[in-house]
Amino acid sequence: MPTDAQPHLPSKIIIDTDPGQDDAVAILLALASPDEIEVLGITTVAGNVGLKQNTKNALKVVELSGKTKTPVYAGCDRPIRRTPVTAEHVHGQSGLDGPDLPDPSIMTRDMHGVDFLIKTLMQEPAKTVTICALGPLTNIAMALVREPAIASRIRQIVLMGGGYFEGGNITPAAEFNIYVDPEAADIVVNCAAPVTMIPLDVTHQALATRQRLAAIKGLGNRTGDAIHAMLTFSERFDLEKYNWNGAPLHDPCVIAYLLQPDMFTGRRINVEIEVASDLTRGMSVADFWGVTDRPANVTFLRTIDSERFFTLLTERIARLP
C-alpha cells in the first residue's frame, strides 16, 4: 500500500466527484481531516445527475463544511462515447435529496475541471498528488488523453468503482461508476499510474446501520444532521434491494483508505474493463485468483474493517460545524 514520503505533511488530493449523498460524505470526511489531507480542489463530472446539478451539489457540500475556500471546478458533462446515464432513482431528482441545504453562495472557478487536473499535476512536484475518484472516470481519462505526461506524475489514483464477487449495482455485471463511462475506466486502469480500486466487494461491507446513523445524528452539529438526512433518504433504495440491516456507504471508503489504509486488505491483480459487450458493458473483470498471465495493473481491495470505518467517520464529522 502506498505511504506518504513526508508523513508530517498532509497528502495533497484532488477529489473528482458527482455528488451524490455518499460522495458528499466522502468530501466532508476529507475536509474534516486537514492534518492528513490537503484538498487542492474538487472537480465535478456528469454521473448521478447532470453536470450542472452535480456541481451545485458540490458547492453546497463545501459550504456545509465551512471550508469555503476549497475550489470547485466543473468538468465533463457527458461520457466519452456513451449516452449519459443517471441515477435519480437512487439519489433523488437533485442528486442530493434528503437535507434542505441552501443554495450555495460560493461559485465555481472559471477553469474547466480537466484543465485543472492537468495544470495541477504538471505544476505540483511529481508523485505528490493523489486523485480520489468518486464518480465516472471521464475527467481523469480526458486529462490522461490530453496530457499523457501526467500519468507518471500522479502519486496514485484511488477510485470507488467496479465489483467482482458482488457483481454489479446498475446491471448484473457492472457497478454504476464504471458502467456510465467504461471507455474512461479502461483508460484509467491501464494508464500506468498506481491505481487502487475500492469495489462493491468492499463497500457492501460498510453498512450504514440505524445505530451508526444514530451516532452521526447524535453529534448535534449541522453536518451530522445533514448526513443523517442524506443517508436515510438514499438508503431506502438499497434497503429494499438487498434487504440488509443497512445500506452500503460507498465513496467515503476512498478517503478512509487514505487516512487508515490498514483497515483494508487487498492485492495487486489485473483488472480489465469490458467495453464491447452490450450484456456486460462496464464489467470490471478482476483476475483475483491469477488465472491469466495478464500483468497486474490495479490494487484491488477486498475487505474493510467496518467498525473502524464508522468510528473514524463519526469522529471526523464531529469536527465540522
d(CA 240, CA 235): 9
Q: Which amino acid is at 256?
A: A
What was the pLDDT predicted at 8? 61
- Which residues, other chains included, contact 67 with Cβ-Cβ below 8 Å and sequence gap of 6+? 31, 39
pTM, whole model, 2 decimals?
Answer: 0.95
What was the pLDDT predicted at 1? 52
What was the pLDDT predicted at 6? 43
The gap from C-alpha 199 to its chain's centroid, in whole angstroms, comes to 11
Task: Let me know: does 28 contact 317? Beta carbons within 8 Å.
Answer: yes
What was the pLDDT predicted at 253? 98
Active-site annotation, residues: 250
Q: pLDDT of 209-253, one tens digit each? A: 999 999 999 999 999 999 999 999 877 777 777 888 899 999 999
3 pLDDT band, cuts 50/70/90, is very low
Q: Does domain 11-317 have CATH number 3.40.50.620?
A: no
Q: pLDDT of 37-87, one tens digit each? A: 999 999 999 999 999 999 999 999 999 999 999 999 999 999 999 999 997
d(CA 297, CA 316): 32
d(CA 78, CA 85): 9
d(CA 208, CA 205): 9
Task: Let me know: does 42 contact 70? Beta carbons within 8 Å.
Answer: yes
Residue 89 in this model has a pLDDT that exceeds 90: no
Q: pLDDT of 153-212, one tens digit each? A: 999 999 999 999 999 999 999 999 999 999 999 999 999 999 999 999 999 999 999 999
- Which residues, other chains included, contact 40 with Cβ-Cβ below 8 Å and sequence gap of 6+? 12, 13, 14, 71, 120, 124, 129
